[in-house]
Structure 1
Amino acid sequence: MTASATTASATTPSGKTQCVVGVDIGTSSSKGVLVDTDGRVLATATREHDVQRPRAGHVEMDGSIWWDEFVAIVAELLAADEASRAEVAAVGVSGMGPCLLLADENSELLRPAILYGVDTRAGEQIDTLNAELGAEAIIERGGSALSSQAVGPKVRWVADNEPGVFATSRRLYMPSSYLVYRLSGRYVLDQQSASQCTPLYDAEEQAWYQPWWQRICGSIEQPDLHWSDQVVGSVGPEAAAETGLPQGIPVLCGTIDAWSEAISVDAHNVGDLMLMYGTTMFMVNTVADRVSWPTLWGTVGAFEGTRNLAGGMATSGAITGWLRELFGSPDYPTLLQEAASSTPGANGLLMLPYFAGERTPINDPDARGIVAGLTISHTRGDLYRAALEAIAFGVRHNIEVFEQAGGRIDRVVAVGGGTQGELWTQIVSDVTGRPQELRQTSIGASYGMAFLAARAIGGASMADWNPVLRIVEPNAALLDTYDERYRLYRELYASTADIAHSLAATQH
C-alpha cells in the first residue's frame, strides 16, 4: 500500500476530502486505488490470483473471485490512514476482457468464466459460425473477424459442450459488468466491451444485432448498453454493507482494462497508440473513422463517438513470469540487470513469444514458443533478454499491420506494470524505432476508472491528473541490428509453423 498527503481537493460538507475508488480485475491480480479529485493516489491495494487451465487452450477463472477481491480491496483502501480524512463519492470498475461469465436469471454463476483471447477452445465454433453467417459479413457488420478473442463462438461452445449450462443461462457478464451488478443491481455492459462480442454486435448501429444474438445466445438476456464513463446506478444497501462504500454513491459503467489503461494515460485521441505492458501486451490505436482489418479488432472506443483498431499478444509478462519461475524465482530487478548485461540480439538468441498461441496479427491459436540459437554458453540473462526482444518484435509486427490497415500512429504511450524499470520499454523503442511517452502514474486501469469517477462528479482533467514523466527515445545505433533480427523473427515463424501446429495437435 502507498499513501501520500492530501491536497487541496474538493471537500465534503463534513470537511473530509472528496475522493473516488477505482478497481480493476486483471488476469493475474486485482488492483484498487483511492484517489482524491486532484488525482493524488491516497492508497493502493492488490490481490493476486491465478487462472485455471483445465485443458490445453482452456483458460478460465472462478467469477466469484472478482467480487470477493473487490470487497477485500475496498476494505484495505478504506482502512488506510488517509481514508480517515476522505469520503468516497463515486466508484468505477474495469476488468480483463472480453470474457464470458454465464449466470442464471438470479445472476447465480453457472460455470467458471471463459477468458478473453488467451482461451482458444472455440476453433470449431469459429469455423461453423463463419460458414453459417459468412466471414465477410461478420467483419462488415461487427468490425472484426471471428477469433479466439470473440465472445460469440465461446457462447456456442458452451451450447455444444455444456448444454445443461446453456439451457439455464440467462445473463452474460464480464468482470466490470459483474461488479456493476453486485454494486448496483444493474445488468449492463459498456459499448466497447459489447463491440468485442463478435458477432453479436452491430458496429454501425452500435447496438446488439438481434438476428445473430437470437441464433447464438438463445434465451440469454441482452444487457443494456452504455458508455464507459456513464453513471449507470448507485451503490445499493447490500453492497454498501458488504464493502463499506457509502450507499447511494454513483457507479460508472466501466469497460475492459486495456481501454481504461488508455484513459489513465490520456491515450484515446486520434493518432494515439496505447501499449499496455501486462500479463499480455495490448495495443489500442484511436482512429478517426471506422476501420476493419481481418487480423485486427475493429471496435468502438471507450467514449461515445470514438473508434479504435486494437490488437493483443497472447503472452507478454506471462513469459517473463514463467522464466522467473524456471530460474528459481529471482527478483525482477536482478533479471533485468542480467538481461541488460547481455547484448542487443541476446548473444545470438531469437525467441518466438507464442507460448499460448498468438492473437494479433497472426491469429494462430496453435502457434508455439520457440527459442532458436541456444548453446550451453547462454545465460539466463540472455534468455530473459531474448524474451523481452521477442515481445518487442511482436509489437513491431502489430504496428506495421495497424498502419497497413489504415491506422495512424502519431504518439505511442506506454502503461502498465512492465514499464517499471527502463530496459523493457527501451528495447521496445529500439526495435520499433518509436518514442514512447511515460506518464507520472503508471498504475493503469484502476487509475483510469478512478479518473472517470472523478470526472463524473466534478470535471477532472487528465492533463492535470497524470502529466508526462519522460520520453523513451529509440537508439538509432541499434536500428540495423534489430532490423536484421526482426527479419529473422518473421522468417522463423513462417519456417516453423507446420512443426508447431503438429506439436500443438498432440497437446490438444
Structure 2
Amino acid sequence: MRCTLGVDIGTSSSKGVLVGADGGILATATRAHDVERPRTGWVEMDAAIWWDEFVAIARELLAGVPDAEVVGVGVSGMGPCILLADERDEPVRPAILYGVDTRSTAQIERMTAELGVDEITRIGGSTLTSQAGGPKIAWIAEEEPEAWERARRLYMPASWLARRLTGAYVLDHQSASQVSPLYDIEGECWHDPWWTRYAGEIERPRLHWAGEIAGEVTAEASALTGIPAGTPVVTGTIDAWTEAVSVGAHEVGDLMLMYGTTMFLVATGEETLRTPSMWTTAGAFAGTRNLAGGLSTSGALTAWLKGLTGADYPELLAEAAASGAGANGLLVLPYFAGERTPIQDPDARGVIAGLTLAHTRGDLYRAALEATALGVRHNVETMRAAGADIRRIVAVGGGTQGRLWMQIVSDVTGLVQEVPATTIGASYGAAFLAATATAAPGEVPTIIDWNPISERISPDEGLRPLYDSLFERYVRLYEGSRSVVHELAAAQRGAAPTTAPTTTPIAPEAS
C-alpha cells in the first residue's frame, strides 16, 4: 500500500501519521515530552528527544501497517528554534526554543542599536523580538563561550531530522527568514555581512523550499527507523506553516489559525508587509510572503487551570458554557509566559481582573478562553492595519476538538472559521508535502481532495456589542497594568526591569 509518513516535533509532543495516496489516515502515533525551564524566561529542549521520538514513532507506524510502502517522508517541527552542533553533529547545548524563550532581551537591544531598526526591517522584514533566531545565537556566543567555540552548524527540529535521515545539511527559506536578522527576505538568501558578524564560524545551511526533497534515507537511518533506504525526505519547515499546508490555508488571502499549546496565526500574501508588531517571513513556497503572529499561551493556559483546579476538561467546558459570554464580569490577560504579538513584551504577565467571591472556576475557565480569543482579535486587527488582505480563515490544531473554544473565537473576532475534515495538524501536512514531492507527473494530489472543509463556525452577531466593549477594556487593561507587571517580572528574575517594548498595542479604533 503506497503511503507517505509525516512526523512533527511539537512543544509538548511529537506526532506521526501514515497517510494513504488518497489522503486517508492509516495510522497515528504520539510521544509526549516536556520542555525544560531552568530559569524564568528560558525554555529549552534536548535535541536527542527529537530523533529518539522520530525513530520510535516511525517504527510504531510501520509495525501497525505491515503492508505499508513508504514512498516519501515529511518532517516538521516547532520553531524557530536554535540548535547549535559541533562538526560531528553533537549538540553543544540544549536547543533554545522559539518566542516563548525570552532570554535574549539584552542581545535584541544591542543588535538593534548596532544595526538600526530601519535597516533590520529592510533586510529581514521584521524587528528583532524574542521570536528572532539571531539574538539567541548571539546569546550563546556571549553567555556560553565554551559551547560557542565548538558550534559549527545550525539546526531546527525539521532540519535536524532531515540531517539524521539523509545526511543533508539544509534549512528551508521560511525557517531561515526567522533567523532574523541573518536572512535577506527579498534576496531569499543569507545576508553575508550579518551572518559573518553574528554567526561567525557556523557553516551556512543550504536553502530549500519546504516541499523540496532534501535527500534520501541512508542505510544507517533505515536500520534505525525501518524506513527503506533510498526513500525521499522533504526539507520540511516550522510546524505552524506545515499546519497551514495540512488544511489548505497557504494560498494568497488565507489566514491559518492554529489552536495548540500556543496560538499561532499565519496570513499569506504576495507582498512583503512590514510592521513592528508582527513577524514578516518568507512563505513555505516560492512567491509567497507571510505576516505571522502568535500568543505565548493558549492551550498552556487552559492546561494550567485544569491542573490548578483538579477538574477534567469536559467539566470545565460545561461550566464555562454555563458561565456565559463575558464570564460574569471577569477579564483575563493571557500573558502568563510573556507575550509575543502584537505587544512583543516578554515581561508581560497574566492578569485576572474583576474577581469576586461569587466567581466560580467555570467563570475563570470561560474568561481564559475569552482571553485567548481577545488575543487572536488583537493580532487580526494588527495584521489588517498593516495591509493584510484576509479573505478566509481556517482553523487547525488540537483545540478544534472543542466547539466552545472555536465559537468564542468567532464571536469575539466576528470571523467565520472553516474547519477541515482532518485537523490532526502538522504531521499530516508533512505527509502531504512528501506526497506532492514524490508524485508522478499528472498525479500530484491537492489538499482539497485530501482534506475538504467539513464545518463552518459563524459568529453570534448578537454578542458583538459585548465583545467590542470587552476588547476595548482588554487593550486598556494591558496599558494600565504594564508598569506594575514589569516590576513583578523583574522581581521574578531577580533583575532590573527590561526596556519597555518598542511597540504598543493598537487601539480598537485603528483596526
- Report the TM-score, using the length of structure 2 for normalisation: 0.95
Deviations 1:26-65 (A, max 9, x none): 0001000000011000000011111111111100011110
Deviations 1:408-435 (A, max 9, x none): 1101100000010200000000000000
Deviations 1:179-205 (A, max 9, x none): 000000011000000000000000010
Q: 1:504 aligns with which of 489, 498, 509?
A: 489
Q: 1:355 aligns with which of 318, 336, 352?
A: 336
Q: What corresponds to 1:4 in structure 2?
A: none
Whole-angstrom CA distance in 2 between matches of 1:85 and 1:241: 18
Instruction: After TM superposition, give the deviation of residue 336 of structure 1 in Å.
Output: 1.2
Whole-angstrom CA distance in 1 between matches of 2:398 and 2:313: 12
2:459 maps to a residue whose letter is P
Deviations 1:143-176 (A, max 9, x none): 0100000011011101110001001100011000
Whole-angstrom CA distance in 1 between matches of 2:34 and 2:3: 31
- After TM superposition, list the pairs within 5 Å mapping 1:125-144 onto structure 2: 125-144=107-126
Deviations 1:238-275 (A, max 9, x none): 10000000110000000000000000000011111000
Instruction: After TM superposition, give the deviation of residue 288 of structure 1 in Å.
Output: 2.2
Q: What corresponds to 1:480 in structure 2?
A: 465
- After TM superposition, list the pairs within 5 Å mapping 1:37-436 onto structure 2: 37-80=21-64, 83-328=65-310, 330-436=311-417
Whole-angstrom CA distance in 1 between matches of 2:313 and 2:217: 39
Whole-angstrom CA distance in 2 between matches of 1:375 and 1:69: 46
Would you say the 8 A contact 2:79–2:239 is kept in 1? yes
1:374 maps to a residue whose letter is L
Q: What corresponds to 1:3 in structure 2?
A: none
- Segment of structure 1 superposing worse, 284-293 or 359-368: 284-293
Instruction: After TM superposition, give the deviation of residue 76 of structure 1 in Å.
Output: 1.1
Whole-angstrom CA distance in 2 between matches of 1:32 and 1:419: 19
Instruction: After TM superposition, give the deviation of residue 460 of structure 1 in Å.
Output: 1.3
Instruction: After TM superposition, give the deviation of residue 232 of structure 1 in Å.
Output: 1.2
Whole-angstrom CA distance in 1 between matches of 2:473 and 2:186: 40
Would you say the 8 A contact 2:270–2:289 is kept in 1? yes
Instruction: After TM superposition, give the deviation of residue 287 of structure 1 in Å.
Output: 1.3
Describe the SS at the equivalent of 1:84.
coil
Instruction: After TM superposition, give the deviation of residue 380 of structure 1 in Å.
Output: 1.1
Describe the SS at the equivalent of 2:296.
coil
Q: CA RMSD in A?
A: 0.7
Whole-angstrom CA distance in 1 between matches of 2:57 and 2:147: 31
Q: What corresponds to 1:467 in structure 2?
A: 452
Whole-angstrom CA distance in 2 between matches of 1:204 and 1:341: 50
Whole-angstrom CA distance in 1 between matches of 2:312 and 2:161: 33
Runs of at least 5 residues in structure 1 that lack an aligned partner in the other structure = 1-16
Runs of at least 5 residues in structure 2 that lack an aligned partner in the other structure = 494-511
1:290 maps to a residue whose letter is T
Q: What corresponds to 1:492 in structure 2?
A: 477
Whole-angstrom CA distance in 2 between matches of 1:238 and 1:428: 47
Describe the SS at the equivalent of 2:66.
helix
Would you say the 8 A contact 2:270–2:287 is kept in 1? no
Whole-angstrom CA distance in 2 between matches of 1:487 and 1:373: 15
Instruction: After TM superposition, give the deviation of residue 456 of structure 1 in Å.
Output: 1.3
Percent identity (aligned): 62
| Number of residue equivalences | 489
Whole-angstrom CA distance in 1 between matches of 2:179 and 2:342: 19
Instruction: After TM superposition, give the deviation of residue 337 of structure 1 in Å.
Output: 1.4
Whole-angstrom CA distance in 2 between matches of 1:321 and 1:79: 32
Instruction: After TM superposition, give the deviation of residue 131 of structure 1 in Å.
Output: 1.1
2:24 maps to a residue whose letter is R
1:377 maps to a residue whose letter is A
Whole-angstrom CA distance in 2 between matches of 1:100 and 1:463: 34
Whole-angstrom CA distance in 1 between matches of 2:49 and 2:66: 27
1:68 maps to a residue whose letter is D
Q: 2:422 aligns with which of 434, 438, 441?
A: 441
Would you say the 8 A contact 2:189–2:207 is kept in 1? yes
Would you say the 8 A contact 2:249–2:255 is kept in 1? yes
1:211 maps to a residue whose letter is P
Instruction: After TM superposition, give the deviation of residue 318 of structure 1 in Å.
Output: 0.5
Whole-angstrom CA distance in 2 between matches of 1:332 and 1:44: 23
2:480 maps to a residue whose letter is S
Describe the SS at the equivalent of 1:363.
coil
1:486 maps to a residue whose letter is F
Whole-angstrom CA distance in 2 between matches of 1:86 and 1:367: 49
Describe the SS at the equivalent of 2:378.
helix
Whole-angstrom CA distance in 2 between matches of 1:484 and 1:151: 37
Deviations 1:459-480 (A, max 9, x none): 1111110000010000011111
Whole-angstrom CA distance in 1 between matches of 2:402 and 2:139: 41
Whole-angstrom CA distance in 1 between matches of 2:400 and 2:327: 20
Describe the SS at the equivalent of 1:423.
helix
1:480 maps to a residue whose letter is P
Q: What corresponds to 1:9 in structure 2?
A: none
1:36 aligns with 2:20: yes
Query: Segments of 4+ in structure 1 off by > 4 A?
Result: none
Whole-angstrom CA distance in 2 between matches of 1:282 and 1:489: 19
Would you say the 8 A contact 2:421–2:451 is kept in 1? yes
1:241 maps to a residue whose letter is A
